Chain A
Amino acid sequence: SQQGEEDPQALSIQEGENATMNCSYKTSINNLQWYRQNSGRGLVHLILIRSNEREKHSGRLRVTLDTSKKSSSLLITASRAADTASYFCATDARSNDYKLSFGAGTTVTVRA
């Protein structure tokens, strides 16, 4: 079942700008992950944040998690053309046997 909902559906930014996308979910989670998908390709794991963590960084990526609002955000700083892709959040929960539940994704276009 689809639990995560990303917002916005699409985002177009200039190279060098920051890109922010949000994910909301409905039920309590164990972990939340973000994945990237280039057009016509498989997904690539970017970062995982546990339910007891509030913020995590990895290179130009910053993820926040607010379990009280059941939401997460992914910030990509100093975007590059190579960041053009779709980004998906995925949650897992004990109630769902820890299977991943993916949102519909945010499509990011970085203009040169």
Chain B
Amino acid sequence: DGGITQSPKYLFRKEGQNVTLSCEQNLNHDAMYWYRQDPGQGLRLIYYSQIVNDFQKGDIAEGYSVSREKKESFPLTVTSAQKNPTAFYLCASTGRLAGSQNIQYFGAGTRLSVL
């Protein structure tokens, strides 16, 4: 089955703790994205990567970090500097880069809550 797998489905963070959300794709896509979704709002871009070993900040990167060591994987770390991390996090990928049709394929999401 081709697709994007996010894990875990639910995650709880304690005060001062860093947590890492996993995103793996077997679609052979070059570009991967992390979004944050809050209730009643659209998706806001946290980080994106268009190629291995390179990534760019999105609109709300503060308090988050990423790595892209492998084409298939784009983990997101929510650091203790992110004071309001409770949200639904979505990972996406696309096989077509800028200038073409950026149709994105999404994982099922990780819901992060603060204990």
Number of interface residues of B (CB under 8 A): 29
Q: Are B107 and A42 in contact (CB under 8 A)?
A: yes
- The one of B4, B40, B48, B101 in contact with A104, judged by C-beta atoms closer than 8 angstroms, is B40
A 41-78 to B, binary, CB cutoff 8 A, 1 in contact else 0 = 11111001000000000000000000000000000000
A31-B102, A98-B102 known; A42-B109 Cβ under 8 A:
yes
| A92-B42 CB under 8 A given contacts A41-B109, A42-B90 | no
Contacts A42-B90, A43-B90, A44-B106 given; does A2 touch B44 at CB 8 Å: yes
| Dominant secondary structure at the A interface | loop
Expressed in whole angstroms, the Cα–Cα distance for A88 and B44 within the complex equals 13
B43 touches A (CB below 8 Å): yes
- Having A4-B42, A42-B90, one finds 10 other A-B pairs with CB under 8 Å, namely A30-B99, A40-B111, A42-B6, A42-B106, A43-B106, A48-B103, A88-B43, A92-B102, A99-B33, A99-B48
Q: Which 6 residue pairs are nearest across A and B when measured between Cβ atoms?
A: A42-B106, A102-B42, A98-B98, A102-B43, A43-B106, A104-B42
